[in-house]
Amino acid sequence: MAFQGRFFATEYWSVPVFGMSHGEAFLAMQTCDSYIAFVLGIRFMLSREVLVSRLRRSEDSTQEDIKSEGFEVGRKWAAESAEAIELQRLETARADERHWDAILTTCNMSAYAPCELLAFAIRPESEKDRDAAVDFWEFILGDDIDVTRSDDWLRGFAEAALSVWDSVTDEV
């Protein structure tokens, strides 16, 4: 039995088209291709939205975990080894909102990292001494000072230290 349809040929592939002129076949294929592209596009957009949403949730939870770690370390430092004057200096730095945000933000237009600026706010006698800032964080964290590169960790640390200070400041 011989094949009785016509073929519609494109550069890449041929399709048998039964009872259609070349123009009709071309239009049908364009419509079919458009529909397939439309469906695939919607699927891609939906899967992309799901992916972006999932990654945002993941990033948010990671940031919260990092901030919680900083909070725990800050609470421990304030309760166990911080001097009253250090906590007072931290409170003074927090009182100036613009300065406080500049300390705790990586894009602060400063030559110093936020962890250095926070150490300088707590111990102003060491200002501009990067080694003193490293010593401060090594005293608190040991060799694991890489966590201080995170703005979220630093913010958690500072908030916890200040919450400890705020809870006892009237009694000191």
Nearest 5°: phi and psi at 163?
Answer: -70, -35
Residue with more model confidence, 137 or 110: 137
Q: What is the pLDDT of residue 120?
A: 94
User: Measured on CA atoms in the order 107, 108, 109, 111, is the torsion positive or negative?
Assistant: negative
d(CA 95, CA 99): 9
Is the pLDDT confidence value at 1 over 50? no
What's the pLDDT band for 150 if we cut at 50, 70, 90?
confident
Mean pLDDT of the chain: 80
d(CA 121, CA 115): 10
pTM of the model: 0.65
Tokens for 150, please give them.
């995170």
The burial class, CB within 10 Å (0-12 / 13-18 / 19+), for 127 is: middle
Place of tokens 């703005």: 151
Is the pLDDT confidence value at 87 over 60? yes
Contact assessment for residue 147 and residue 65, using Cβ atoms and an 8 Å cutoff: no
Tokens for 70, please give them.
């900083």
Residue with more model confidence, 26 or 4: 26
How does pLDDT run across 6-64, given as a tens digit for each residue?
444 444 444 454 555 555 655 566 666 666 666 566 566 657 676 677 777 777 767 78
- Worst-scoring range by mean pLDDT, 29-43, 112-126, 131-145? 29-43
Q: What is the pLDDT of residue 12?
A: 44
Identify residue 18 by its one-letter amino acid code.
F
User: Could you tell me what percent of the chain has a pLDDT over 90?
Assistant: 41
What are the residue boundaries of the structural domains of the chain, listed by start? 67-168
